[in-house]
Amino acid sequence: MREVVGSNDWDSYNAKHAYIIPMQSRARYLIVDGHSVIFSWPELRKLHARRSSLAREALLKQLRDYQDWTGVHVVVVFDGKGKKVEAISDPAEVQVFYSRSGQSADAIIERLASKYAKRYELVVATSDLMEAETVHACGAESISPDGLRALLMSAGRGSSGIRSFRAKSRNPAA
């Protein structure tokens, strides 16, 4: 006669022999169009009018804090004036790129999105609608400068950053 294993027996077998396979999540990156955000936030625009480096440093400070709080890698791209693209960062720091003269920060951001959106979870902060459409076509997401402000504020209150912002943006009543 065949023995039928009841659900309780099966459950106890599973509990004894179960193991968890850790899911590999994709690394998360926030790419920020630096001047787009600076000119969208009144307090940074005011600092920029006094001295552009003050506005850049104030933005970088907030983004550095966000990176430290959430573990999301932050990349900031500014329009530059040099002969080549400059990258400035230390291993654990926010990555900063300056475009070369005649090239916009948008071009660098779009290139980053097209190259890395399939490999990493990318969110681009910009006020430029064309840039937002382009990064969406590459598989990245975008948020506005106001959305970035909300993201930074929620992270400072101990929220989970990009994921919690997405949930709110998909369900505005939440």
Give the count of domains, the chain: 1
* 116 domain residue, yes or no: yes
What pLDDT digit, counting tens, does each position of 72-116 carry? Answer: 999 999 998 777 666 776 667 899 999 888 889 999 999 999 999
* 3 domain residue, yes or no: no
* 98 domain residue, yes or no: yes
pLDDT exceeds 90 at position 8: no
What pLDDT digit, counting tens, does each position of 20-53 carry? Answer: 444 456 789 999 999 999 999 999 999 999 999 9
DSSP SS3 for 96? strand
> Taking Cα atoms as reference points, which of 146, 141, 75, 135 lies closest to residue 107?
135
**Domain limits for position 59:** 25-170
Angle between helices 129-138 and 105-116 (to 10 degrees): 20
- pLDDT given at position 77: 95
What pLDDT digit, counting tens, does each position of 151-160 carry? Answer: 999 887 654 4
* 16 domain residue, yes or no: no
CATH number at residue 108: 3.40.50
* 55 domain residue, yes or no: yes
* 88 domain residue, yes or no: yes
Sheet holding 86-88, edge to edge: 86-88, 95-100, 73-82, 28-33, 121-125, 141-143
